[in-house]
Amino acid sequence: MKRDMMYLIAGLAALFLQTTVLSHLPVKPDLVLILVVCLGLSQEAFSGVVLAFMLGCLTDVFAGSTPGFFALTKTIVFLLAYVARGRLFFDDSLARAGLVFIAAFMEVSIFLFFVNLRSATAIPVASMGRLALGSVLLTTLAAPFCFPLLTRTGIVLWEQGER
């Protein structure tokens, strides 16, 4: 229970950073996505799904997006990381960053799909692709710096020692 609260507090801190400190950037890293990947690699299924869903709901509130969109995508990202941890080795930060890249790319793809589905006018693919690729790359580049921070603060405890 204590660790679950730590994840929620870390999620609120990440959202605060994204909406205040990083708000002047045209493209921002998705710090909550990194936290959800850590959640998928270190938590049990039920508590992890609930936390990922709650972090997604908080992201929906802070982003002002379609209600439930980020709740859905963060839960899918958690499930991806949870399934991957049983099949692949994530012993170093670069392997985890690769998983963050896949998760960020998947989330952006779902976002672009829904934007095109709901939009009455065609949105230029080049402009959407540039923003999406920038977000995916920044999130991937931020991940190796976030993992040690989350480990040192005790928020993330890897399953087998200091993964």
Give the tens place of pLDDT for each residue, 125-155. Answer: 666 666 788 889 999 999 999 888 888 887 7
Inside any domain, residue 163: no
3-state secondary structure of 44: coil
What are the tens digits of pLDDT across the range 40-82? 988 888 999 999 999 999 999 988 777 888 999 999 999 999 9
Inside any domain, residue 161: no
Tokens representing residue 17 in the block:
């950073």
The pTM (predicted TM-score) of the whole model is 0.86
Inside any domain, residue 160: no
Inside any domain, residue 116: yes
Inside any domain, residue 141: yes
Q: Contact, 128 vs 115, CB < 8 A?
A: yes
Q: Contact, 3 vs 39, CB < 8 A?
A: no
Inside any domain, residue 12: yes
Inside any domain, residue 80: yes
- Chain centre to alpha carbon of residue 141: 13
CATH of the domain at 46: 1.10.1760
Number of structural domains (the chain) is 1
Which structural domain, as residue segments, surrounds residue 61? 2-152
